[in-house]
Amino acid sequence: YNEYKSYLRVTGVMVTKTKAKKEKKATAPREEEDTHVPVISSFTRILISFSLAALAVIYRLSPLWTKNIDTTLLAGWNETLGTGGMLKEVPCQLETSSTALPGCLPARCGRYVTDRLVTSVEAQRLIDIAERAFRVGGGGSGGVDVFDLYSGGVSHGSSFANVKILAEKKGIRQLFSESDRAFYMQIKNRIKKEVEKKWRLGKGLIQLTKPTFFSKMTGRPAKTANDEYWHRHVDTEQYEKFHYTALLYLNTHSKEFEGGRFMFDTPQHNHTIHPKAGRVLVFTSGPENPHHVEKVRSGVRYAITIPFTCDPAFAPGDPDF
């Protein structure tokens, strides 16, 4: 994002106004203003028309030049993936780690999507939990609200505030119940077991790491850097000890919101996933999986990010929200 801002600064158009110096010459006669309007010749008109036609042909043929680039829709909003889900492998670029547990780092890298782990009813219950925090926080100033389960931080205007402190100020003694926390743990453990299964990991090798958070995206204009979720990025560049990233979508593209598709951005492996209530997307977190989220155009998009690490030093235990 800092590189993006630098790019804007470097390439930004700066307009400066200068005043031409007027030289007054008492003896020099005033020259008549040239009111001649240039006429485009017939040859120039033909050349321009030919150029525009050529550009039109190039535009129409451009898909033929990129036919070898995979732009597959991995999972559409109106389909349900069968038992076993869908796993697409990509060449690994994950760096080694001397502190990771042996046998935990990905031996194979890829993207996995399943619709069989979480029901739409369970997804709605998670939205209800998240919305309690978002209502107490009052919402962010831009197009995305975040509720972090470890810190308790929730979007509050142009910054973050502790959700428990805000709740106490509003006279709310208990924002979340033990049942809410147990339900979250049940969903998290279900996803963790699926990651272990698909990547053939021994039990207990991966652990939840932070941040793990709910996100609520809308089409409101961005006000701060935290609102600009649509930039291409790699998870390990932001969070070094992410090794497996899981995303649980809580509502459905084209039904509750427009835009907001998840897109992997790699040559030969450009894959798109439509969010759907209860759908889980898991991918290895290294540079083999650069990605971005398309801007939400309308409606509200809900999801929760659940990352896992292979490094015990970055496994703080389960969040006590």
User: Does 116 qualify as catalytic in the annotation?
Assistant: no
Asked whether 283 and 242 are in contact (CB, 8 A), the reply is no
Which residues, at least 6 apart from 106, have a Cβ–Cβ distance to it below 8 Å?
92, 94, 199, 243, 244, 284, 286
Pairing of strands 139-140, 109-114: unpaired
Asked whether 227 and 146 are in contact (CB, 8 A), the reply is no
Given 132, 261, 279, 301, which residue is catalytic?
301
Q: How far apart are CA 252 and CA 275, in angstroms?
A: 5
Asked whether 291 and 264 are in contact (CB, 8 A), the reply is yes
Neighbours of 154 (CB within 10 A): 28
Q: Which residues are catalytic?
A: 301
